[in-house]
Chain A
Amino acid sequence: MPVITYREAVVRALDEEMAHDENVIFFGEDVGKAGGVFKVTPGLYEKFGGDRVRDTPISENAIIGAGVGAAVTGLRPVVELMFADFAAVTLDQIINQAAKFRYMSGGQLKVPLTIRAAQGAGQGFGSQHSQCVEAWFMHAPGLKVVVPSTPADVVGLLKSSIRDDNPVVFLEHKSLYTEKGEVPDGPDFIIPLGVANVVRKGTDVTIVATQQMVKVSLKAAEELEKQGISCEVIDPRTLVPLDLETIVNSVKKTGRLITVEEALHAGGWGAEVATQVTEHAIWYLEGPVIRVTLGASIIPFSGPLEAFLLPDKDDVIKAVHRAMEP
């Protein structure tokens, strides 16, 4: 299987979908000849031309609005918001327009729009370019929310997102762009939305983690293995829809749940998963459900400060120990 980076995975998925369906168009700031500020989408402009790959003004509201308007006509626009933090500038278009058009029209409209943005910390980008924003969109019915952690997931899930008839917020983690991984060859490779990935099998504790935190959790699991604790690590990959079944089944087996996320404790996806598990499997739990999250603060510029806030392997190990306490 070919090994590619997370960054290359984005362009592969876009390339395949643009070739597959001429209704797929792609636009955003600096995505044309420049290939995106994260250099994520090089070559698309050259291959598909300026009609289908467009540079826009620095106008996030107009960009998402244009995506919504184009989508209701049957095009499948992919728009790039650059940094996910900028979604705050255009929340109206995402939450009030894209997400609600189908409902408000009594089901007459479809909005097959994919909004790509890079989120997450770890690069010293400071407070306005580093947060994880998935929870913002989990609270807006009508949207799907995708948080890939590997190159294969990027390819498979981005393609599904583009083919989906609903608005999808596709959040790439910018610290993962250089991650490498195997991706099955061929344009037919696709991963459906709403199917979790059991990244590591285990029997004592279920750890649910996304994006950067999958790697952190896997490192913790390795170390815990040496201590005789067997961890099952699950990456839900999409938060809406959420593959609750895989998570609940795992907890029924292990009796313990840890969630690990790079976002705030209050109102994060971990809180949602924890609650859902208690609703569906409380009698199987043998210990407290523990959420490993970001410190209750804002992502700072300083490297040591940023590192302090981000959950690491030791935080996960501590949480597992607490959950295992008799």
Chain B
Amino acid sequence: MDKFNDLSTEHLLALYRRMMLIRRFEERVYYLFLQGELPGTLHQCQGQEAVAVGVCDHLNYTDWITSTHRPHGHALAKGVSTESAMAELYGKVTGCCKGKGGSMHFGDPAVGMLPAIAIVGGGNSVVAGLGLAFKLRKTQQVAVCFFGEGATNEGAFHESINFAAVQKLPIVFVCENNLYGASTAYHAVSPVKDVADRAAAYNVPAQIVDGMDVLAVRAAAGDAIAAARAGQGPILLECKTYRFTGHSRSDARGYRTKTEEAEWLAKDPIPGLGNAMVAAGRISADNLTAVEDDVMRELDEAVEFARNSPDTTPEQALEDVLA
């Protein structure tokens, strides 16, 4: 196998494009937010794109994911349309949740993404039911739970991984360990160095993955998802990663050193893949520019779509409470 795991150039470019889409989406959204065009708050995922993209590359729309308060990358990686994602942030009816979910509850059942769950650890419990249903119906579907390392100090993490393990459910628990839960360093609140070690308590296989390398994530996720599909029970992947931005919109990041940030910025997964492809002669730098231009066009269109979409009407506030 070559350093690209024998993936075709086309496939590699698709991974590159997806990561670039998420990065530029987040940047655009932040800009619109500062302009006062988008309301609410934002938890962004710049730096963590490789995890969402590497994992979701193996999933079909019939496979389901749960996500967190930081869901934009998961949504775009799973196939939520850029337009409906953007419109959701504008609170428009054309949004993926008709403007009722907003940033923290992004989702689209049509592509296999539940509304994101902004209660830390909440998705860990719900994913057990997705896995249970898939197992009962013998459908070979897989459920993936994305969560931060902070969630591993919630009881829900422990209850559900045990629940999934004892019932051998087809679930891949993907921990994005970006070292900090809001301002708190993981080592300050956990005596266990690696999240992966926690899985041993439940007899669940776990693997530590370089979350800044989309190919490494993709390879590990491929094995984990295949094993889950084959009925071998849950697996935990701990992807070591870093969020390049603050925790939420107004975080000056005083708890991190500039040196640490620089070290991680140097591992940026997007140029990481792009430069490697150029160096290996798979593509030229111009190809990468073309991808980026294409992404920018897609985002321009998404913003136009969102701006031009009809606003919600007040009485919709009362709709969709009950089926």
Closest partner residue, chain B, to A107 (CB atom): B320
Indicate if B291 sits at the interface (CB-CB under 8 A): no
Q: A69-B133, A73-B133 given as contacts; is B98 within 8 A of A106 (CB)?
A: yes
Closest partner residue, chain B, to A240 (CB atom): B322
Q: How far is the CA of A198 from the CA of B100 in the complex (A)?
A: 40
Q: Is the CB of B129 within 8 A of A109?
A: no
Q: How far is the CA of A164 from the CA of B323 in the complex (A)?
A: 8
Indicate if A325 sits at the interface (CB-CB under 8 A): no
Give chain A nearest CB distance to B116 CB in angstroms.
9
Q: How far is the CA of A68 from the CA of B163 in the complex (A)?
A: 14
Return the CB mask of A80-111 against B: 1 if under 8 Å, else 0.
00000000000011001100011111111111
Return the CB mask of A101-124 against B: 1 if under 8 Å, else 0.
111111111111000000000000
Q: Is the CB of B109 within 8 A of A61?
A: no
Q: Is the CB of B125 within 8 A of A62?
A: yes
Indicate if A72 sits at the interface (CB-CB under 8 A): yes
Closest partner residue, chain B, to A27 (CB atom): B132
Indicate if B149 sits at the interface (CB-CB under 8 A): no
Q: Is the CB of A104 within 8 A of B101?
A: yes
Closest partner residue, chain A, to B163 (CB atom): A62
Q: Is the CB of B132 within 8 A of A66?
A: yes
B156: chain A residues at CB < 8 Å are 61-62, 65, 92
Count of chain B residues with a beta carbon within 8 Å of a chain A beta carbon = 44
Give chain A nearest CB distance to B134 CB in angstroms.
7
Indicate if A32 sits at the interface (CB-CB under 8 A): no
A110: chain B residues at CB < 8 Å are 323
Indicate if B131 sits at the interface (CB-CB under 8 A): yes
A142: chain B residues at CB < 8 Å are 321-322
Which of the residues A54, A73, A93, A96 comes within 8 Å of B134, measured between beta carbons? A73
Give chain B nearest CB distance to A25 CB in angstroms.
7
Q: Is the CB of B133 within 8 A of A65?
A: no
Which of the residues B97, B109, B129, B321 comes within 8 Å of A141, measured between beta carbons? B321
Q: How far is the CA of A25 from the CA of B167 in the complex (A)?
A: 15
Q: Is the CB of A93 within 8 A of B125?
A: yes
Q: How far is the CA of A60 from the CA of B162 in the complex (A)?
A: 12
B323: chain A residues at CB < 8 Å are 102, 110-112, 164-166
Q: Is the CB of A96 within 8 A of B130?
A: no
Q: Is the CB of B127 within 8 A of A69?
A: yes
Q: A59-B163, A101-B114 given as contacts; is B129 within 8 A of A65 (CB)?
A: yes
Which of the residues A73, A77, A104 comes within 8 Å of B105, measured between beta carbons? A104
Q: A73-B133, A107-B320 given as contacts; is B125 within 8 A of A61 (CB)?
A: yes
Q: Is the CB of B167 within 8 A of A61?
A: no
Classify chain A's interface size: 35 or more
Indicate if A320 sits at the interface (CB-CB under 8 A): no
Q: Is the CB of A71 within 8 A of B322?
A: no
Indicate if B77 sits at the interface (CB-CB under 8 A): no
Indicate if A195 sits at the interface (CB-CB under 8 A): no
Return the CB mask of B98-134 against A: 1 if under 8 Å, else 0.
1111000101111000110101001011111111111
Indicate if B266 sits at the interface (CB-CB under 8 A): no
A75: chain B residues at CB < 8 Å are 133, 136
Give chain A nearest CB distance to B106 CB in angstroms.
10
Q: Is the CB of B159 within 8 A of A59?
A: yes
Q: Is the CB of B122 within 8 A of A105?
A: no
Closest partner residue, chain A, to B127 (CB atom): A69
Q: Is the CB of A107 within 8 A of B98?
A: yes
Q: Other than the known A66-B129, A96-B117, A97-B117, what 14 A-B pairs have Cβ atoms closer than 8 Å?
A: A66-B126, A66-B128, A66-B163, A69-B114, A69-B132, A69-B143, A70-B129, A73-B64, A102-B321, A104-B100, A105-B101, A107-B98, A107-B320, A166-B323
30 CB-based A-B contacts, threshold 8 Å:
A51-B136, A52-B136, A57-B159, A57-B166, A59-B160, A61-B156, A61-B159, A62-B163, A65-B126, A67-B129, A69-B114, A69-B125, A70-B130, A70-B132, A70-B133, A70-B136, A72-B130, A73-B130, A77-B129, A92-B156, A104-B97, A104-B101, A105-B100, A105-B105, A105-B114, A106-B95, A106-B98, A106-B100, A108-B97, A166-B322
Closest 6 CB pairs of A and B: A69-B129, A65-B125, A106-B98, A107-B320, A59-B159, A165-B323
